[in-house]
Amino acid sequence: MKKLLILPILVILSCASGQNKSQVNDLSKAQKDLIYNSCFEVVVEKPVNDSLTYEKELPWDSIPYNIRVDKYYSIGTAFSISETELVSAFHVIDLRRASMMYPKFFIRDANGDVFELDTIESFDTHRDFIKFKVKNKKFTKWFNINTDYEINEMVYSVGNAYGEGVVIRKGDLIGTIAEAESNKFKLLRSSSDVNSGNSGGPLLDKNCNVIGINLARKDNITYSLPIKEMSNVKSKTGLFHLQLKFGFCLIPDTSKMTNFDYEVSLPKKYKDIIKDYKAKYNSFYEKKMDEFLKSKSDEMFPEGESSILPLNSFSSSVLPQIMFKDKDDLKWYISNLKYESSKLKNNGAVETSRVFSRLLFADITKPDNMKLKEFANNPKAEMKLFLEGVNIPRTIGNEKVRITGMGDPIKVEQYIDSYKRKWRMCLWLLEYSDDVIISYSTLTPQGVSVIMLECGTSDLEESNYDLRKILDFVHISYYGKLKEWKEFMELKNQLPQIFSDINFSFVENKSFNFTTKKYSFKADSDIVKIEDDTKLAVKFGFYHEDKKVVWDMRTLVLAEDNKPNVIGIFKMLKPDSRLPESYQKDWKTALAFEHPYDQEPYKEDDTTNIIGINSKYKDMKDKSNKSLNFIYTMVISKQGNVDNAKMKEQLDKVNTQLNIKE
């Protein structure tokens, strides 16, 4: 899912930094005193807690002392315009952000005294200004407002430079420019430079009256909102205005531009505005996303002609894959994600693949000395192993320090997707960056498969909505040793619903049994050795059944450990008539019992192979079979050169031990 937020480019660039210009020496002492006592830093409290653990002590001494010891982060500038009122840029005091780590806004004066925001008197997100009051503070000095200005007059931009105090820079007012969205108002352009942190500071005329609010810098030009624009907003009203496009990350399409407009009656406590806004916006977001996805329903997987390829295929990988719509031919495919692998102690492993910039797939194999039940009931163990295999660093100064643990998740809950697959959702808080990692994990015989997405804490609800939609497109299969499967099947209350209808057992050196609603299969140790370390892969796929799409078994493969001795059971689907000829040919070849489905052994590399069709379909040659929608095939591969009669005998045995119920 992707959301495109369309804002004026100047706001997007509001944190750009500038270069120092000439000192301002033509202001009187009284004017400078007015400026220094009427301008304030906007600050937020630094997080006190850090639930993360690191590979070594963080190198705090690499950060400048004044920043290191400060209890606050400086994020912008505000200035007083009356005994009780201040003004800043809205993007500095952004009431759209419900941050977990920075829930409060403050101003800090030249003496270092800090005052929390109280009520909001006026704001407009489009014009990018906010007027507010703070708690327990009255101002002795403030700027007068001048709604007139002349091009080419001398002006001063004032602001908090990099959090190190108020800086005054002189320049000329060189013109205006239409705001980017609709030319509803003009922005002032001046040559008075600004730095990061100057956003929200005043643009002053030569008499130190406010004519604008500094918003951004681009190409050595400072852009400011004319102060008179504050009076063009309806009295006692705050205006939220956003232009957005909606989309889904697995398809190339996006919605038309949509406006989100929301008015707030003022004055009102700033925390109440944030809370109300998030509730309104989250509801709007989900509604618009639902509408967008519904508008694409005819062409979204698994609907429509564009979905026929993945509905007639399944991934050869046992690692998580995902369905996606190709931007060129607009057809749906199953991904072939490449995974990077990191080995852990005691035969553990972490394999990861970056799907999109913020979306990560991981498959974690637990160490041999850890029980799957322990792993299933301990999210911290899951995250600890992940961090052992993946280097996620925290940057302090110029040094990167590896994160080794994330403490307890701040929230854990179960989620069941559209195909009745069970996921454990965990939220992991990164206090230092005001981010959260959302992880959805589902058990596998070897450990867990995990889908992770990182986002800002303020974007949690929208990102979680997105991720839950994505889960319905995730391709999951199951692989492990028989002894691992035994542990896995004992945890049925945590497995997908389909496993409630599956019975599994094995007796070492004797037999293997696997029973589902659709078939049962028994294998003896004379074809493939039945041992604790024998491998079992059960691969699932999406396909049509009874006029609906199901997620169900497509293959079962039993294989000896470290030897190419294999038994495979495959559900072969009748191909859609619109599929390429290669699909049709394979189906016709099977129905005609032609090679390789002729039950005749053949050599390939260092193995002897044989493929047959279950005896339930023995009369296929004599019937038209137009109503047949699937068949079950059987495969045996044996290492080396095996006698043909022996291979046929073993295939006959597999055939009798496979009982098709559907």
Span 416-432, mean pLDDT? 97
Span 321-349, mean pLDDT? 96
Average pLDDT of the chain?
92
CA distance 115 to 444: 53
CA distance 263 to 273: 10
Q: What is the DSSP string of 234-264?
A: PTTEEEEEEEEEEE-TTSS-BPPPEEEEEEE
Lowest mean pLDDT among 436-440, 451-455, 542-546: 542-546
Interacting residues of 216 by C-beta distance below 8 A, sequence separation 6+:
10, 11, 13, 14, 16, 199, 222, 223
Give the residue range(s) of CATH 2.40.10.120 domains in the chain: 2-47+60-240
Place of tokens 């001063």: 156
Q: Is the pLDDT of residue 10 over 70?
A: no
Give the pLDDT confidence of 69-114 residue by residue, as tens digits. 999 999 999 999 999 999 999 999 999 999 999 999 999 999 999 9
Q: What is the DSSP string of 552-579?
A: EEEEEEEE-TTS--EEEEEEEEPPPTTS
pTM: 0.92
Q: Is the pLDDT of residue 12 over 80?
A: no
Quickly count: other Cβ atoms within 10 Å of residue 230's Cβ: 21
CATH 3.30.1050 given to domain 296-476: no
What's at 9, amino acid-wise? I
What's at 583, amino acid-wise? Y
Span 626-636, mean pLDDT? 90
Instruction: Give me the torsion for CA of 645, 646, 647, 651, rounded to 10°.
Output: 100
Give the pLDDT confidence of 435-451 residue by residue, as tens digits. 999 999 999 999 999 99
Interacting residues of 543 by C-beta distance below 8 A, sequence separation 6+:
311, 312, 549, 550, 552, 554, 573
Burial of 62 (0-12, 13-18, 19+ CB in 10 A): exposed
Which fold would CATH assign to domain 2-47+60-240? Thrombin, subunit H (2.40.10)
Spatial contact of 482 and 531, defined as CB atoms under 8 Å apart = yes
CA distance 73 to 432: 12
CA distance 59 to 593: 70
| Reported confidence tier of residue 355, pLDDT bands at 50, 70, 90 | very high
Span 544-566, mean pLDDT? 93
Interacting residues of 581 by C-beta distance below 8 A, sequence separation 6+:
none
Spatial contact of 589 and 597, defined as CB atoms under 8 Å apart = yes
